[in-house]
Structure 1
């Protein structure tokens, strides 16, 4: 569970309450409610990373929000026309949601606001509601970016410093190694993604990337220390945290850590990695201007080759778009038949539940209902016990703060926080009071039922389609990493680059496994059966890295035939993970032989991986055949 960001809580509270207060001061609480909804859009879209990414992540989805609100308002009360238009927008929303994080948020707001515009009475003229919501979003954006001119590189520096601290945790005996390594992988992913998004001021960006890359020898030495069951000197994590503080502030370092050369190879590798990182930090800190140097704010959006690649929409995106369109069309048709006024909550529920990049559809449907109940209780207390008017401002202040405060705890908590806020703001537009609370619960139940039946049960996905093939590809890359670690190949990617890609892929596979574990059988049972395979692959990568560093520090190189034989066994495991029960798994006909002494720890880990893979029951391995990539 992520820690609560105090600054985000304050921003959310101020933006939503201030937007509503301005509307009340102008004598138009409905205008203030729309502006507060726009601020809520910014709150839910905010990535809280680099300023540039935050601006893009807030502005682009708001543009989609404007389009959706205009389209929806044009078919308000249109019956069959509204069903057709909202269904088409759902198809577009589903397709673009797979093109990246910003596109996912844009697709979500496009569809949500189309549904709101088609189901909720909005002030006239047609351009006023989009303008008010945009002003609310811009208010939140101003609060989010207020420190940009003063501290332009603070988020990037913090991300790189977090990597230094994560490496220190890996080298600390009090921290479980597997947990610390996964935290390090996540910190590395975030830091590299953040720096990759910056296009201006190449010198500063290059310095931070150099400081990040300088940790590679130290990161690779950590598995060797663990393999030899040696805990590095306690001075090393302390020195890393000192370097982290220096990177975060941009201030000068205190000089190279003066630690004695240990007589042991594993400790020597760690010490050399630390010295290298300290030298790079000391050499690059002085080339970066201090915060507040007057860095001009960059333009909001940069289009590059990634945008062109995004136009190639994968088949899975169209599949999800069709599924979402079917469910939204069914939801729109249902609300035209049930006698509950303005039941736009049904398609809204379907939209939230059917977001595949947000987690398991099944678990989100359950959490949606569990979160809606306390949210409705809170809304009932507000709508029935507090008179409309200026008393709404402190209420919105509290409810707005709860959204970022509870979101890290999970989707159910987020639903419980957003539900009363949305209902209060909607009441300022519809003036229906507490009479709609029970119908909203019924709407949520109907929306969850539609999502579960039409969007989940009727669209069975192969286990291999979701996870199995990706895991098999990762095992295949593990074999390539082994070959590259002990074999010089001209023109090929270095082994360190393959290691980073492997850890990133394993992080994505682990996240998908965690989502699948929350689903009912057979998917949840399959995920539980395959879970040890992921852990075994991680150990193989770790030991391969450790042995590569051990050879680099003077150990005897393994025989090429032993490396090839071991890589072949891993290749066969990848093929077996792609097989169905009706297909016979491949077997290795070669003679194992006696491995090179340096490879014996890796042989044990590969044998353990083979044993775990063979242990998979037929139900766990069941899937239709998937071609190799």
Structure 2
């Protein structure tokens, strides 16, 4: 993609306003917290303290809107406390230019590294730096600065208290994640009716798994219907694929195929009903036709062998899903306690508390201190740009020079498309927001309390629209800051000129920094593909090894390998998405090769999943040939991954030799030999994709 096209695409993306379901009640609660803090501060301390405390409450509320599975009060308190510390340290050094610049460099560099712990931590850390640049200009003494820091933290406390006192749909994010996973399974079942080898995106299951991790406090309060259903959804997916696939199931035509389609449609209806019940905390209402289709005794007469076992397994798992999805208090109408729910006996995934999280974040940040890390490059970029913007703001003939570095630190992200899109959106939103605020001020001439009320109103609009796009939110953020600082009598015309020009400078600095010191994803695509190949090879090898050493369907090594494969696949898909928008020509991996290799490895993983669906029970007769196949799969994919990284065409000689040795005496198992052939065909498609890409590049 050319630079011109990349700029056009990112600009369009940044200015796009998406249609999203709004949450006015949650936005009103956040605005209420801000209004309480501002009103109390104005009445008791005056406009300067009110402005500082308002930033604390404003940022704490934004933290509660982040996509995080931690309790919302915890996020609000963490945001308020960290911003209070940043503000106080900033004021202690702001009178000494060199010392403050050193603190700004250090603080911004650390905020850049914080992205290693995830976007929530990164956003809070970046916002702390941006708001610190504003709040350090408000106090006039160390004692006043300490008071401002206390009020900033108080703003976080108020927002946390309101979340506790005025709960809105508790556990809503976790409910949605689990319901989305079940709904994705339902959609998969419907697609399998028409396409027996349809692909499945594991992201909903991964999101649900992340949402299932709870802190000790959450574990004591989690609703019973959020136990167990995710694990059942994980086990249903391979059963659905096994039932539908002609390679291990039934022919593509005939009465057996019609029965399979009927079972898949019924399974989709049941899964949708369970998803709806979990999402809304209601009893499960099953459609009678689906229940009748699943209970009919004709299944045993029509289906035979592996397909019959898959059908019976599917019916049993769906029954467990329905039972788990039923909301319970202490006991159900049938007398079953929450402890008897499927999956309840399993150890809950534990999420560390904030105290225990600190060394984990430090370890992740230290792991990024390497030359090839995009997080380290982001930290270097953002700290250098923020310092340059601060110095430029001090030299240029404008007031409020902090707007340039504040803009830079708020728009910069570790990847190209977000940085450029947010830069355009920030400038456009600021231009519109400042113009609107100026028009209101010049026409209404609001006094102190009316300015505060308008600021709260703008904050409400920002909370309401923040998920519809960055540009929409920035319109009201800019107006919010104008009204808030206007409480101290800042000139409006000066505000317009300063804000617009310095926002433009800050955005241009951010864009220029990424162009000069980029962290392109395009050259790393082969490495991401190699990681996925190696991980999916280990998964297939772990599954195959269980045929030689039966340990039952719940083998922990198979489960761990599957999770690693999903993580590698998502990392590959995210890398491809980022590379699509980069102004960089491909280096050995064309768009066509990317799509073909993606399809081939997805098919390889699907075949391994089918083999997992038919793992022998513990104590079953071992298949000795499976050990040889597992070892050849492991060697072949590890060597193939190494070849992909080195830009060579991978070969699969180990696996091919194993299959050739079976030509006269294949293993006595209905799936093992067939599965091995399908795995080799998928790997050959990977080789074809990479070979064609290399030839196209040579031409």
TM-score, normalising length: structure 1: 0.81
Deviates more, 1:604-613 or 1:171-180: 171-180
1:609-628 → structure 2 map (5 Å cutoff): 609-616=686-693
1:173-184 residue pairs with structure 2 within 5 A?
173=191, 181-182=200-201
Work out whether residues 27 and 464 of structure 2, in 8 Å CA contact, stay in contact via their aligned partners in 1: yes
Q: Deviations for 1:357-399, whole angstroms, at most 9, x for unmatched residues?
A: 7963333333333433333333333333332235446643542
- Report SS of the residue matched to 1:388: coil
Checking the alignment, whether the CA contact within 8 Å between 1:13 and 1:400 is kept in structure 2 is: yes
CA distance in 1, matches of 2:463, 2:28: 9
Q: Which has the larger radius of gyration?
A: 2
Quote the residue 2:534 is aligned against: 476
Give the match for residue 682 of structure 2.
605
> In the alignment, which of 572, 579, 596 is matched to residue 646 of structure 2?
579
* Residue 413 in structure 1 maps to residue 466 in structure 2: no
The equivalent residue for 1:540 is 604
Counterpart in 1 of 2:517?
Answer: 459
What is the rounded CA distance, in whole Å, between the counterparts of 1:472 and 1:548 in structure 2? Answer: 23
**1:330-371 Cα shifts (integer Å, max 9, x gaps):** 222212211111210111111112232796333333333343
Change (3 A) 1:171 1:537: same
Instruction: Specify which of 80, 84, 88 is matched with residue 70 of structure 1.
Output: 88
Distance 1:145 1:418, change over 3 A: same
Alignment of 1:347-358 (within 5 A): 347-356=405-414
Which of 448, 457, 462 aligns to 1:403? It is 462
Written as runs of structure 1 = structure 2, the 5 A alignment for 1:33-72 is 33-47=51-65, 52-72=70-90
The answer to whether the 8 Å contact 1:367/1:411 transfers is yes
Change in Cα spacing, 1:206 to 1:393, as seen in structure 2 (3 Å) is closer
Offset at 1:254? 6.9
Instruction: Output the CA distance in 2 between the equivalents of 1:225 and 1:430.
Output: 71
Spell out, residue by residue over 1:515-572, the C-alpha distance to the aligned partner (whole angstroms, 9 max, x if none).
3333322479978566424444333322321343256699x98964566555555434
1:131 aligns with 2:162: no
Q: 2:543 aligns with which of 480, 485, 489?
A: 485
The answer as to whether partners of 2:192 and 2:244 remain within 8 angstroms in 1 is no
2:508 is equivalent to residue 449 of structure 1: yes
- The alpha-carbon distance between structure 1 residues 487 and 179, as it changes in their structure 2 partners (threshold 3 A), is closer
| Aligned mates of 1:119, 1:468 — CA distance in 2 | 48
Equivalent position to 2:584, from 521, 524, 535: 521
Greater mean alpha carbon deviation, residues 480-489 or residues 244-253: 244-253
Deviations along 1:226-260, one digit per CA (max 9) or x if unpaired, are: 54476444322222233334445666667995623
Q: 1:307 to 1:147 in 2, by over 3 A?
A: same
Q: Is the 8 A contact 2:429 2:474 kept in 1?
A: yes
Q: Which residue of 2 aligns with 1:627?
A: none
Q: Mean alpha-carbon deviation: is it higher for 304-313 or for 235-244?
A: 304-313
Q: 2:491 maps to what in 1? A: 432
Report the CA distance between 1:27 and its aligned residue.
Answer: 8.6
Deviation at 1:90, TM superposition (A): 1.8
Q: What is the root-mean-square deviation of aligned Cα atoms in Å?
A: 4.2
Where does residue 104 of structure 1 map in the other structure?
A: 122
Q: Secondary structure at the match of 1:514?
A: helix
Is it true that 1:194 corresponds to 2:211 in the alignment? Answer: yes
TM-score for both structures, normalised by structure 2: 0.74
Asked whether the 8 Å contact 2:537–2:637 carries over to 1, the reply is: yes
Contact 1:198/1:205 (<8 A) preserved: no
CA, structure 1 residues 3+152, in 2 after alignment: closer, same or farther (shift >3 Å)? closer
State the distance in 1 between where 2:418 and 2:542 align: 37
Query: Contact (CA 8 Å) 2:139, 2:145: kept in 1 or not?
Result: no
Task: Give the Cα separation in 1 of the matches to 2:521 and 2:285.
Answer: 53
Q: Is the 8 A contact 1:399 1:421 kept in 2?
A: yes
- For structure 2, the 5+ residue unaligned runs are 1-17, 247-251, 253-259, 333-350, 664-672
**Structure 1 residues 9, 462: closer, same or farther in 2, change over 3 A?**
closer
Change (3 A) 1:366 1:501: same
Separation (CA, whole Å) in 1 of partners of 2:586 and 2:428: 22
User: What's 2:568 paired with?
Assistant: 505
**Alpha-carbon separation, structure 2, partners of 1:239 and 1:574:** 41
Separation in 1, partners of 2:50, 2:115:
30
Aligned to 1:276: 317
Match of 1:294 in 2: none
CA offset digits 1:392-419 (Å, max 9, x no partner): 4664354223323333233333333422
Per-residue deviation at 1:96?
Answer: 3.4
Aligned equivalents of 2:138, 2:149: Cα separation in 1: 14
Distance 1:605 1:301 in 2: 40
Does 2:221 match 1:162?
no
Q: How does 1:88-103 map to 2 (within 5 A)?
A: 88-103=106-121
Aligned partner of 1:235 in structure 2 is: 266
Residues 470 and 509 in structure 1, CA contact (< 8 A), matched pair in contact too: yes
What are the within-5 Å matches in structure 2 for residues 200-215 of structure 1?
Answer: 200=217, 202=219, 208-215=226-233
Q: Measure how far apart 1:65 and its partner are.
A: 0.3
Distance in 1 (CA, whole Å) between partners of 2:568 and 2:178 is 20
Contact 2:186/2:271 (CA < 8 Å) preserved in 1? yes
Mapped partners of 1:308, 1:418: distance in 2: 34
Q: Is the 8 A contact 1:13 1:398 kept in 2?
A: yes
Q: Is 1:380 matched with 2:380? A: no
Q: How has the CA–CA distance of structure 1 residues 13 and 305 changed in structure 2, closer, same or farther, with 3 Å as cutoff?
A: closer
- String of CA shifts for 1:188-216, please: whole Å, max 9, x gaps: 33332233132147576696442321222
In structure 2, the CA distance between the partners of 1:273 and 1:405, relative to structure 1 (3 Å rule), is: farther
Task: Give SS of 2:185's match.
Answer: helix
- Would you say how many aligned residue pairs link Structure 1 and Structure 2? 605
C-alpha deviations, 1:15-55, integer Å up to 9, x for none?
Answer: 33454444556694444443332222023211467885322
State whether residues 220 and 546 of structure 1, in contact with CA within 8 Å, keep that contact through their aligned partners in structure 2: yes
What is the alpha-carbon distance in structure 1 between the residues aligned to residue 584 and residue 95 of structure 2? 41
Contact 2:604 2:678 in 1 (8 A): no
